[in-house]
A and B are shown apart, each in its own frame.
Chain A
Amino acid sequence: MRLDGRLGERLLQLLSPLLLLLLWEGATRAGWLNPQFFPPPSSIVGAFERLWARGTIQGSVLATLGRILAGFALGAAPAVALGLVLGLSRPLRLLLLPAANIIYAIPKIAILPLVLLVLGLGEASKIAVTAISVFFLVLLNTVAGVRGIDRQLLDVARDFGASRWQAYRTVALPGALPLIVAGCKLALGFALIVVVGTEFVAAGAREGVGVLIWESWQILDIEAMYVGLVLTAILGWALNLAIDEAEALLLPWRAEGRRIGGRAARQTARAEAGGGRGPLGGLQRRLCALRPPPGRLRVWWRATRPFSFTATLVPVTLGALLAARAGAGFAPPLFLMTLVGALAVHAGANMVNDYYDHVNGIDDADSLGPSGLIQRGLLTPRQMLAGGLAAFALGAALGLALAALRGPAILALGLVGLPLAFFYTGWPLRLGYRGLGEILVGVFMGPVLTLGAYFVQARAFAPGPALLSLPVALLVAAILHANNLRDADADRARGKRTVATLLGPARAAWEYHLLVLGAYAAIALLAALGVAPPAILLTLLSLPLAISLVCRVAATREPHALNGVLRQTAALHLRFGLLLIAGLLLPLLARLLPGAG
């Protein structure tokens, strides 16, 4: 099997920065680089901690971010409005666009002295220069966006009697939006450059990342200067991430396109036909990171529903990572055994679910099962059941091996976990169809897996991993709940009881809100109580997606729309998990480097 797809790509992207850091560290330690100018990363981390304790970092970032956002808002809003007008009106365009093009060409930092003359050394001049540089970028992009709209779409608006204002709102704005967003992305990058630049020159301000860099340079505190540089990089990266988030929100039609591409129509039909109930069925397919081998193996691979594996991947990695943080070290072979074992049990539960849904007629002719393999005759029901049991057997074998190696506690976890995974939809208990799905999945794919993976590495239990797994558990329950929300009507008709059918639509939507927002509340609480380092607040970067999902669930009960919510909830779980892991990894990496702090 070859590692590719999104996960592989992400890992690949991490490689070059990490390599650079290692090279750098090695080169200074070996004496090839003068540490006075190029202090090793480990000592920069030390400076970071020092500045954080003083509150310098927090203050600088807030000040710079505030200037960026203020300048951006003041520049972008009028630019979009004017750009729409110019895009649609040829005379106005001919009149004004040449001037805009000329001013656009001037490096904005070059007009800073002029602005300083007019507005003085204070905040106003910094924000004004930023706003000006943002304005022209967004303006030109908006005009290009409007001009790129298919003329026929404007004719459609006219034919249906759109007023001028309606033509702007219903055609020009949404049609130009892709380029507007692209312009905003560029503009935010420029805003960062300009703000840091103005903070150098007009250091009238007390705080700011630019101020930090400039002042550290003046007193030759090189490490602090590097902290400023790193902060700038992080700010740029975070802004980019935020606008990517906004893009997904604003351009859902494009996001969908990327996700399901050419197979879209057929897949839409399949999704509508009920593509996915069961533990994590119907999860988005894009997370399928391992390319399946062709032929018979491929069918089996699909039967395991690999796209849902991230639900297991996140807690297992989290547990192992927490053990490493606790000083227990990290043994890759043990980690691999844990991961494969847990995935085997997960795959087993998926296949057993396919089998029982089929024999119990939950998935009948007009509703393809989660994988649909039985219904399409690619696997017989018996084969599916046998496959599930084989997967369980593999999971059990690995569990036994781990128990022998690391201690009987693993045995206990397995003895509880395996039957639950089977009877999740297995006859006769069918716990998932008695309103227990969310709790079961939440507990299993939250605390149980995290603690298990922790124990394998550390040979002990601890409260930390259990607590940190809670937000992950809430989100995994939210995935399942989103699935049940979508299928509520069908499930009711088939006598399958889930929390969604039991609560009724309005309260079921509330449960979703509680699960998703609860995860963030938990993170905030854990950070505030000092259970984990503040870096776990990195997970807040996924908050925009969470909020948009909550809004969508509040707004709709349509299965089709909820299908999107389901996929996006799974994406949220993964993103949240990765951010959490990244947040825990950062300080750890710093500490792993010898001689840090």
Chain B
Amino acid sequence: MADARHTDQPPGVPYPPPRLPAYPPKITVAALRQEFRAADGRPVVALDGIDLAVAEGEFVCLVGPSGCGKTTLLRLIAGLERPTAGAVAIHHAGRDRPAQAMVFQGQSLFPWRTVLDNAAYGLDLRPAGRGRRERRALARERLEQVGLARFAGAYPHQLSEGMRQRANLARALAVDPATLLMDEPFGNLDEQNRLLMQEELLRIWGGGSAAGGRPVTVVFVTHSVDEALVLADRVVVLSARPGRIAAEIAVPFARPRDPLALKGDPAYVTLYRRIWDLLREGVLAARAAELRGEVA
């Protein structure tokens, strides 16, 4: 369905030129640079020279070695961080839904709220005329979607790590955001739950024009190349620190995708190989740089 936007790339072309999105751009990132101050006061360059455009309704996966700035990029897009240089923008009009909601990496549930109240958090902040009952009912629906309805009354510390991640997701879904920023949301799930949650997420995303016909844009950080290839329209590979875009790779497979059938597809193997090589290069380069730095 979304394939009209992507042209197949013959294997062997390592760095395809960035595509022009066919839909209006939802997120634009231009010449972005982000520095932090390390504990010893020296500047750490987390991201450098990032140019990226994400189309409305597109599903983009970010992959890259640990510490390359994936979380930082998401936080910049969400507006939780101010860039050192360059510009980030989410293009969003209309006040009927929030521009974005983030699924944070790691522990981010409120320990003092029950799972249900956590899921309803965004709704509670912006009731938009909905009463408490209605907000709880909505949140409960989301919990059902992620398979947590039975634990609505539990507190986060009573859940397993994987369950907490799903509650996290439910909280973001509950506000019906135009863009979902997801930071390794399925990292701690077991294989079966991971597949189920991927399916559920794709259903919610709905090929870019979700339930109710409103497009949902997704930027999804993952460590798993498999996951990226099953989910994404496009995979953005970041190099090791300082994070730069090493490649943008279109994923041409028709949707709905069957993860098992995909793995037998020769094109899948080629793409997997290519992304894997890029990641390995990045990690090795970074290690070499680190070593040189230490010797010097």
Partner-B contacts on A (CB < 8 A): 150, 152-153, 155-163, 166, 170-171, 174-175, 177, 251-253, 256-257, 260, 264-265, 268-269, 272, 558, 560-561, 563
Is A161 in contact with B126, judged by CB distance below 8 angstroms? yes
Interface of A is mostly: helix
Which of B101, B113, B153 is the one whose CB lies under 8 Å from A560? B153
* Beta-carbon nearest neighbor of B99 in chain A: A161
Contact across chains for B150 and A269 when beta carbons are under 8 A apart = yes
Tell me the complex Cα distance, A160–B78, Å. 10
**Pick from B121, B151, B160: contact of A170, CB under 8 Å:** B121
Tell me which residues across on chain B come within 8 A of A256, comparing CB atoms: 155, 158
User: In the complex, are the beta carbons of B78 and A159 less than 8 A apart?
Assistant: yes
A260 to B157, CA, bound (A): 11
Residue B104 contacts which of A156, A162, A264 (CB distance < 8 angstroms)? A156
Q: Which residues of A contact B108 (CB under 8 A)?
A: 152-153, 155-156
Say if the beta carbon of B24 comes within 8 Å of chain A: no
Q: Which of B112, B122, B124, B159 contacts A253 (CB 8 A)?
A: B112
Task: State whether B125 touches A264 (Cβ < 8 A).
Answer: no
Q: Add 20 more A-B contacts to A265-B163, A268-B158 (CB < 8 A).
A: A152-B107, A152-B108, A155-B75, A155-B104, A155-B108, A156-B121, A157-B125, A159-B104, A161-B122, A170-B124, A170-B125, A175-B110, A253-B155, A257-B155, A257-B157, A257-B158, A268-B151, A272-B150, A560-B153, A561-B153
Nearest Cβ distance between residue B147 and chain A, in whole angstroms? 13
Min CB–CB distance B121 → chain A (angstroms): 6
B154 at the interface (CB under 8 A from A): yes
Judge if B102 is at the interface, Cβ distance under 8 Å.
Answer: yes
Chain A CB within 10 A, most for which of B125, B150, B151 = B125
Q: Which residues of the other chain, A, contact B106 by a CB distance below 8 angstroms?
A: 152
CA distance A158 to B106 in the complex (A): 17
Residues A155 and B155 in contact in the complex (CB < 8 Å), given A150-B107, A174-B112:
no
Residues of A within 8 A of B75 (CB): 155
Which chain B positions have C-beta within 8 A of A159?
Answer: 78, 80, 100-102, 104
**Chain A minimum-CB-distance residue to B110:** A153
Task: Chain A residues near B107: list those with CB within 8 A.
Answer: 150, 152
* A contact residues around B100 at 8 Å (CB): 159
Q: In whole Å, how far is B166's beta carbon from the nearest beta carbon of chain A?
A: 13
Closest to A175 in B: B112
Task: Looking at the assembled complex, report how far the CB atom of B148 sits from the nearest CB atom of chain A, in whole angstroms.
Answer: 11
Residue of B121, B158, B159, B160 most packed against chain A (CB within 10 A): B158
Q: Does B175 contact A (CB under 8 A)?
A: yes
Give, as a whole number of angstroms, the nearest-CB distance from A24 to chain B: 46
Chain A residues contacting B98 (CB-CB under 8 Å) are 160-161
Q: Is the Cβ of B104 less than 8 Å from the Cβ of A152?
A: yes
The B contact surface, by secondary structure, is loop
Given contacts A153-B110, A265-B158, contact A160 B151 (CB under 8 A): no
A158 to B81 CA separation, bound complex (whole angstroms): 11
Rounded to whole angstroms, the CA-CA distance of A171 and B110 in the bound complex is 8
Q: Evaluate contact between A160 and B175: CB separation under 8 angstroms.
A: yes
Separation of A432 and B54 alpha carbons in the complex (Å): 65
Write out the residue numbers on chain A whose beta carbons fall within 8 Å of the beta carbon of B154. Answer: 264-265, 268, 560
For this complex, 25 residue pairs linking A to B, each with C-beta atoms less than 8 Å apart, are: A152-B106, A152-B108, A153-B110, A156-B110, A157-B125, A158-B80, A159-B80, A160-B122, A160-B125, A161-B126, A166-B125, A170-B121, A171-B110, A175-B112, A177-B112, A253-B113, A256-B155, A257-B158, A268-B154, A268-B158, A269-B151, A558-B153, A560-B152, A560-B154, A561-B153
Q: Are B150 and A265 in contact (CB under 8 A)?
A: no
Q: Which residues of B in the span 107-163 have a Cβ within 8 Å of any Cβ on A?
A: 107-108, 110-113, 121-122, 124-126, 150-155, 157-160, 163
Query: Which residues on A sit within 8 Å (CB–CB) of B110?
Result: 153, 156, 170-171, 174-175
Q: Is the CB of A162 within 8 A of B153?
A: no
CA distance A134 to B113 in the complex (A): 29
Our count of residue pairs bridging A and B at CB distance below 8 angstroms stands at 85
Closest to A158 in B: B80
Q: How far is the CA of A265 from the CA of B156 in the complex (A)?
A: 9
Query: Which residue of A162, A253, A265, A558 is within 8 Å of B111 (Cβ)?
Result: A253
How far apart sit A126 and B185, CA to CA, in the bound complex (Å)?
A: 57
Bound complex: CA A177 to CA B111 (Å) = 12
Which residues of B lie under 8 Å from residue A560 when comparing CB positions?
A: 152-154
B240 to chain A, nearest CB (A): 24
Contact status A265-B151, CB under 8 Å: yes
Nearest B-chain residue to A159, judged by Cβ: B102
Q: Please, which residue of chain B has its CB at the minimum distance from the CB of A562?
A: B153
5 pairs of A and B residues whose beta carbons are closest in the complex: A560-B153, A264-B158, A160-B122, A174-B112, A253-B155
**What chain A residues lie within 8 Å of B80 (beta carbons)?**
155, 158-159
- How distant is A170 from chain B, measured CB to nearest CB, in Å? 7
B104: A residues at CB distance < 8 A: 152, 155-156, 159
Chain B residues in 8 Å Cβ range of A252: 155
The CA of A253 and the CA of B109, in the complex, are separated in Å by: 13
A157 to B125, CA, bound (A): 9
With A and B bound together, what is the CA distance between A175 and B110 in angstroms?
A: 8
CB distance from A62 to the nearest CB of B (A): 35
- Alpha-carbon gap, A264 to B151, bound state (A): 11
Shortest distance from the beta carbon of B161 to any chain A beta carbon, whole Å: 11
Residues in B neighbouring A563, C-beta threshold 8 A? 153
A260 adjacent to B158 (CB under 8 Å): yes
User: What's the nearest-Cβ distance from chain B to residue A545, in Å?
Assistant: 19
Q: Is the CB of B125 within 8 A of A265?
A: no
Residue in contact with B125 in the complex, picked from A161, A175, A260, A558, CB distance below 8 Å: A161
Q: How far is the CA of A269 from the CA of B151 in the complex (A)?
A: 8
- Smallest CB separation, B171 vs chain A (Å): 8
Residues of A within 8 A of B113 (CB): 174, 253
* Distance A156 CA – B158 CA, assembled complex (angstroms): 20
Q: How far is the CA of A177 from the CA of B113 in the complex (A)?
A: 13
A85 smallest CB distance to B (angstroms):
20
A160: chain B residues within 8 A (beta carbon): 98, 101, 121-122, 125-126, 175
- Closest beta carbon of chain A to B261's beta carbon, Å: 35
Q: Cα distance A563–B80 when bound, in Å?
A: 40
Shortest Cβ distance from A150 into B: residue: B107
A242 to B52, CA, bound (A): 58
Q: Are A265 and B112 in contact (CB under 8 A)?
A: no
